Structure 1
Amino acid sequence: MSILSNRKPAASPRPDEIWFTRCPVPTATGIAYKLGWLGEAFEADGIALRTLQESGTELGRHHYDHRLPTLIREGGNMLAIAARAQGEPTRLVGLTWIEESQLILARPDSGIRSAADLKGKRLALPGWSHNDIPAHVRGTSIARGMSLAGYKGALASAGLTFDDVGLIETPDRLRNIGGSGRDLLPRGQGQRSGVGRLWPIEALAEGKVDAIYVKGAAAIDQAREAGLVVAIDLDALPDRRFRVNNGTPRPITVHQSLIDDHFDLLVRFLAVTLRAADWVTEQPDRLRDILEYETEGSPEAVDQAYARLHEGLHPTLDAERLALFDSQKKFLFTHGFLDADFDLAGWVDPRPLEAARAFNEQRPALHTSALHTL
């Protein structure tokens, strides 16, 4: 008997398409998409799987505001939390924790070798984003929010605070936060998502600041090209609290109407992504190729940044991840990235993920393409 057999029928007709969106980072959603599993899981029902990254700019705005009822989002928490703070009817259905090379970079002659060495230094603070939608400016100021959180963690690990450093504002250059059109461009056609413009590499290389925060494979490549060095590896710090940031934890959010009207389709989607998370340990070479596409990093940078990918790719809603996520929400509110605060517990809905796990456990040998029977 299906685990969903006792649920009421869907309240509205089957949709013609399901949308999903993700950032240029490692996600089970992105991996399942590149493997072709998501498309296979829905094709028998005539439901098309679409990504906002293959859409035009008008739909691309929903990467931020989540106003597509059939949109599933796995990406950075700043945009997801900001949308909820603005009253969007979304629900949090899962959290991942992926170590992906959060670094403080410096010039080789800076003398910065540890977090304690940041005292008295000039740290780059990217400016607020330029967004055509004024209400989206704060939530889309990704580089600013991530840099602040990264510095906070590094400083706290050495018993320091923002009072011990100087924050030097640098221009924000990212325009395409949702990566609209990214999936329409071939790999190797540079800066498909704009991630290459995220960090103030030039300000550091030119001596305008003493250190910058960066994250991910593409940033590792940029640092090498600019002759910069890793001063502090936040991933090496023993306490996860010092690494809470936009991608740690990384949320999976959905529109409330998708849960209410098409619960079974959401469960099917999540079941496929859970299987993709299982797959990552089995095919390292194929995985590397996918991650190069998703993150825009070189093979060497991908290996360095995501060596521990398999440890946190499976989503959960466990107490530790929720507590760390709540601390990020409070940080964003305190530093002006949210319109309002809200109760995290009221945002969480564990049912879809629980149902997806139960479905996969009932049919462990089922090929992914047969998931349309759910």
Structure 2
Amino acid sequence: MSALPQAASIPAAPPEVREIWYTRCPVPTASGLAQHFRWVHAAFAREGIAVHSLRDSDDPAVRESHFTHSLPASFREGGNIPAIWARSGGQDTVVVGITWVDEEQLILVAPDSDIRTLADIRGRRLGIPKNTARVVDFPRAQDLHGLVTGVRLAGLQPEDVQIVDIAGHDFQQRRIGAAGPGSIHQATADALLAGTVDVIYAKGAAGAWLVQERGLRPLLDINAHPDPFVRVNTGTPRPVTVNRDLAEQRPDIVARYLATLLRAAHWARSHPDEVTAAVAAETGTTADNVRRGYGPGLHQHFDVLLSDQYVEGLRRQTAFLREWGFLQGDFDYDAWIAREPLALAHQIVAREGPALPSA
């Protein structure tokens, strides 16, 4: 009779997971599509796993995990600034996929401004929000990055302009839509129209709304630049992050989530009108603002990848945030990227097909 193996050599059973959480920003994401049509819920219902939305929770501590990623067994896809900030503070997450949905990134002036060309911003007042928040001030970071990009495209340096702080609010306790009166750009747009500042930044459907409804005049669309790395900001690219322990102990769950996103991206390519309607609902704006803010090819750009461009774009955003003092500490960027779950997700789709689960 062979001897029983030592207890230490017996592989531990994978931990049981009965529920997972997800969160996404009010912007175009594969996760947003998957939850809008409840495909992610259906995918895990087969496994007896409940799926919950952080954004729909009544508990402020749970909603704050959108920024801190403190909730176990949680997935996040959205603006990269909170994800990078949480990792820099020691939160042990991994990037298991990245999406890149280009969006209008506008340098805006008032309708009656005497600023006519980008070079005219020399010496002018550039407004950025300064919010009261316990977490990273992502609106400040994104607006600063956009304006610094505009300054450098004008052949200037940040010291050639005046940076003016505009008082904001405690944004993490609110469910702010990406566009319309509740937009995170409202304070800076008000300051621009009041003459307190001369130039601001806005992006996506919110920027389109400010042009359409408040008459702001675009001086530059950074998104028109051919170099994708010039277009890097909080929304380009957007990482899909998950707790490292879940990725290591239950790679099947992480791969199943990613497989649902891959299928959603495949579906989106042949359903442009449905995608526009879903994103309009996600962003709290109109279909016309979605088309302007994200372009007519939006439905073709939900692919979840870990391509060289996507990984390098996220690296460059991390470097910008470090340079401008938004991070809590340094971390090993390369070790943050976990490629195995996405490879497993592709195997699932290849084996089971691209059809989405019935909601």
TM-score by length of 1: 0.87
Write the deviation string for residues 317-366 of structure 1: whole angstroms up to 9, x where unpaired: 12222222111111111111111122210111001111111221233254
Aligned partner (choices 320, 327, 332) of residue 338 of structure 1? 327
- Residue of structure 2 in register with 1:226 after alignment: 214
Distance 2:314 2:30 in 1: 19
Give 3-state SS (helix, strand or coil) of 1:73's partner. strand
Aligned partner (choices 121, 143, 146) of residue 147 of structure 1? 143
Distance 2:12 2:203 in 1: 44
Q: Give the direction of change, closer, same or farther, for the CA distance of 1:343–1:364 in structure 2 (3 Å limit).
A: same
Aligned partner (choices 22, 25, 48) of residue 24 of structure 2? 22
Distance 2:33 2:173 in 1: 20
Deviation at 1:80, TM superposition (A): 0.5
- Residue of structure 1 in register with 2:3 after alignment: none
- Residue of structure 1 in register with 2:77 after alignment: 74
Q: Which runs of 5+ in 1 are unaligned?
A: 1-7, 183-187
Aligned partner (choices 48, 64, 68) of residue 67 of structure 2? 64
Q: Give the direction of change, closer, same or farther, for the CA distance of 1:365–1:241 in structure 2 (3 Å limit).
A: closer
Give the counterpart letter for 1:316 in structure 2: L
Q: Give the direction of change, closer, same or farther, for the CA distance of 1:198–1:86 in structure 2 (3 Å limit).
A: farther
Write the deviation string for residues 35-82 of structure 1: whole angstroms up to 9, x where unpaired: 121111111222111110110212111111112221000011110011
Distance 1:32 1:287 in 2: 11
Give 3-state SS (helix, strand or coil) of 1:368's partner. coil
Q: Give the direction of change, closer, same or farther, for the CA distance of 1:23–1:232 in structure 2 (3 Å limit).
A: same
Q: State the number of aligned residues.
A: 347
Question: 1:1-374 maps to which residues of 2 (within 5 A)?
Answer: 11-13=14-16, 15-56=17-58, 57-127=60-130, 129-131=131-133, 133=134, 136=135, 139=136, 141-176=137-172, 179=175, 194-196=182-184, 199-307=187-295, 308-364=297-353, 366-369=355-358
Q: Which runs of 5+ in 2 are unaligned?
A: 1-10
Distance 2:184 2:201 in 1: 14
Distance 2:174 2:85 in 1: 14
Deviation at 1:367, TM superposition (A): 4.3
Write the deviation string for residues 250-286 of structure 1: whole angstroms up to 9, x where unpaired: 1110001111222111111110111111112212222
Give 3-state SS (helix, strand or coil) of 2:346's partner. helix
Give 3-state SS (helix, strand or coil) of 2:128's partner. strand
Write the deviation string for residues 135-164 of structure 1: whole angstroms up to 9, x where unpaired: x2xx2x112101111012112223221022
Distance 1:114 1:20 in 2: 43
Distance 2:40 2:171 in 1: 29
Moved more, 234-243 or 65-74: 234-243
Moved more, 167-176 or 91-100: 167-176
Give the counterpart letter for 1:54 in structure 2: D
Give 3-state SS (helix, strand or coil) of 1:195's partner. coil
Deviation at 1:240, TM superposition (A): 1.9
Give 3-state SS (helix, strand or coil) of 2:337's partner. coil
Question: What is the identity percentage for the equivalent residue pairs of Structure 1 and Structure 2?
Answer: 37
Moved more, 102-111 or 330-339: 102-111
Distance 2:55 2:49 in 1: 18
Give 3-state SS (helix, strand or coil) of 1:241's partner. coil
Deviation at 1:176, TM superposition (A): 2.9
Write the deviation string for residues 7-58 of structure 1: whole angstroms up to 9, x where unpaired: x785211x22110001110000010111121111111222111110110212
Larger-Rg structure: 2
Give 3-state SS (helix, strand or coil) of 2:336's partner. coil
